[in-house]
Structure 1
């Protein structure tokens, strides 16, 4: 039996996958989880018919799910942490003072910059989105700013910090698999990331001023009075996010850090809000459920809980069911071999790699998979054409880290949609930095601006030298 499929069969699997996904999600509006499982099942059946052993598929499937296990645990921990921080009054207090001090006209601008700062210091987009991001969504409701706008600003800020922070796992991983110094990788990403951030910030200023005249002071006053009545808003309630930020900044493991946040939230809920063990357990499991009697306040507070994240966990497992058999069938190997045969210049090679990683990331939904699988296989291509490998490490982030929030079934995209309560398609338009990085990357490849060069590896090969000159 073959270890990999032939090129025509690999292309057939890809075409079938695309047809099932687009027809299921767009034409029939079916749930993404079911569509991904259906596509995965079709790929598995055809692969086995064409000679791929089930043992190989099973191993890759288990490996994919195993790689997602820690992110899944973090996802569940964030759900519990949001629920208990609502019950303890931590998030309501942040919302209260956000309504008190932030002007609606600059709200989106401030949100984006605040998330940039926290994510750079903490090195985690998930930690940023699951803490101050959730609080900002509550402020957004109070100010009357559309939630997709706010979600977009939160995501842009969080992902910018995730890409630029030396503490970020994606930053470290993309540099490592490309054999690039971390500082060189971060500096090189400025070319594609900063222009997108600036354009995003300008967008948030424009959107903010457009909505600044529609805010009702009476509504804000009502929200603040309701929060003040139902919660004991003591400054000590800010302790959990401060501790979380400090621990993550000190590069402590994310899962234990969130555990500390959950424990602190439970203690504060008991001490300052008078909640018992039953109420605390319910908030951890089901989220904040108490009713304040004011519909707008209930809308911003009734979030979190472990149960609310289970659907997202199912989506991530479905993504593994879909993506892993493509790897088992050798589809990635077939495509890479085709690129190596067809790429005649450094430009065409870089454009092909950018397209391939984007495509494979959309398929698998996990940069942990694509970085680890494609990184070691692609990086050597750059040596042949006299191109620095930091061009490749930047491509991984532009088409992985930044693209992740735009893919509903990706680990990050599913986490954001569930945590912020806004569908991926609703906030995507208001997070331009995420896709502008790819656009700028393509422009740089075509023009040669921002493309780092080195001496070709095979110096005696005049063809390789010519390829480098073509850039």
Structure 2
């Protein structure tokens, strides 16, 4: 029987650092050496963390309970991830995604190819809520077209990445947005609206950058591979108005400020109906796409790469990483490992600019040592979010900073799994596209500039400056609730 009365030892900063470094080392070994599944590694870390907890006077049951309770923050994110998988599959079967790609390719002018590529990927990512999904679909096609026009792959990849990441950041169905808001408790639409102020200037500058770069290339867009791809899409899908109904349903629900989950599921279910009644798909097959994803037998490798994907099942791996990552964060939080690290960090922060800088920096570091964008967001958010009230800052400041470092930082780390995915999908090296992702450079800089000049740095209590209000907030339950929706 476990001894619940065992005297507990206090967590020291040295012990906290050692525990954290062991976890980071285990993650790195799993990803780089073993090249195994990250979800499995997070789950196996229980075997390390529970004995550590017992050493510090906790029981195994208490450790397990802490892990499980912390995953409540992840439930919404996981459900949206699974729904997004269904959306990707049914939007392909209904012709929505094929139509977006087809018309995007049809109306792209060679003179503005890079600008159009960024815009197209922004739209696809906005509605699909996944930068990786956009890179793996529209991005693959665009890189192929760019190559045929003589545009270096790295430059086209840069335009694709900038567009995909911007759309992802503006999408309420984005997994990184869901993680950031789950960790901080911020309302999704407030979070996105707040990010608009730093994203749009960087986006406009990036469009100008790609317009200028694109002037050097004047090749033809009507190459054989493009024609074959467009013909393949046209042969397999009806791409009239009804193909866009699923997108309109999702967009309409989001405009009505319905939940992200409802908007995604609504668009996915509409995709099933369009697949049956407009694309002529067998009802059983159309419903099966919701879970298993879309599959098309074709001799075209490019078409297969574009279309054979999606479904709830396709997201189980990422859902597992998210779930088990949160359990690890829960145990670290319960052991006060994160509290000790946060105290050490906060004691060295002297201003809100320093706080924003450290949060963004930790996002980059988290991506480098954990190799996982999602885990970097979870760990950085869990560590830094409690510090923001000490400077009278609303949680949406933290969620914005998390995105600037935790999300965008991933693409600057060649060994990060998100970067590896992009390199594999587009056939590029990280060093070839890193010079051509201006949006990802600009966003952290713009966030820091805003913080320095105190623009869009919203406070919890307007009657005081950037001072510690954590004690006041602790005795103000109404504000604790209200600040998440401001």
TM-score (norm 2): 0.71
**2 CA distance for matches of 1:403 and 1:64?**
20
Match of 2:95 among 63, 69, 89: 89
> For the residues of structure 2 that align with 1:27 and 1:224, how far apart are their CA atoms?
41
CA distance in 1 between counterparts of 2:214 and 2:444 reads: 26
Deviations 1:360-380 (A, max 9, x none): 7987737578657743x3234
Q: 1:265 aligns with which of 257, 265, 271?
A: 271
The corresponding residue for 2:55 is 49
Equivalent residue, structure 1, for 2:104: 98
1:166-185 matched pairs, under 5 angstroms:
none
The verdict on how the C-alpha distance between 1:54 and 1:421 changes in structure 2, with shifts beyond 3 A counting, is: farther
TM-score, with length taken from structure 1: 0.73
> Residues 289, 240 of structure 1: CA spacing in aligned structure 2 closer, same or farther, 3 A cutoff?
same
Aligned CA distance change for structure 1 residues 24 and 209 (closer, same or farther; 3 Å): farther
Which blocks of at least 5 consecutive residues in structure 1 are unaligned? 384-388, 459-471
In structure 2, what is the equivalent of residue 465 of structure 1? none
CA positional deviation for 1:139? 4.6
RMSD between aligned residues: 4.5
Corresponding residue for residue 72 of structure 2: 66
Distance 1:299 1:113, change over 3 A: closer
Partner SS state of residue 170, structure 2:
helix
| Contact 2:292–2:314 (CA under 8 A) maintained in structure 1 | yes
Aligned to 1:468: none
1:397 aligns with 2:400: yes
Q: Does 1:326 align with 2:332?
A: yes
8 Å CA contact retained: 2:76, 2:182: no
Contact 2:143 2:157 in 1 (8 A): no
- Is the CA contact 1:357–1:370 (under 8 Å) kept in the aligned structure 2? yes
The Cα offsets for residues 251-282 of structure 1, whole Å up to 9 and x where unpaired, read as 11122222222222122222222211232133
Assess, with a 3 A threshold, how the Cα gap between structure 1 residues 240 and 202 changes in structure 2: closer, same or farther: same
Decide whether aligned partners of structure 1 residues 53 and 200 sit closer, same or farther in structure 2, where only a CA change above 3 A counts: farther
CA–CA distance in structure 2, aligned partners of residues 7 and 218 of structure 1: 62
- CA change 1:171–1:370 in 2 (3 A) is closer
Please give the secondary structure, in 2, of the residue aligned with 1:252.
Answer: coil
Note the C-alpha offset of 1:245: 0.9
Identify the match of residue 29 of structure 2 among 23, 27, 30.
Answer: 23
1:186 corresponds to: 194
Distance 2:178 2:288 in 1: 33
Tell me the equivalent position of 2:19.
13
CA distance in 1, matches of 2:329, 2:350: 30
In the alignment, structure 2 segments of 5+ residues that lack a partner are 1-6, 148-152, 412-416, 469-486
- CA–CA distance in 2 between the matches of 1:84 and 1:456? 48
C-alpha contact 1:108 1:150 (8 A) present in aligned 2: yes
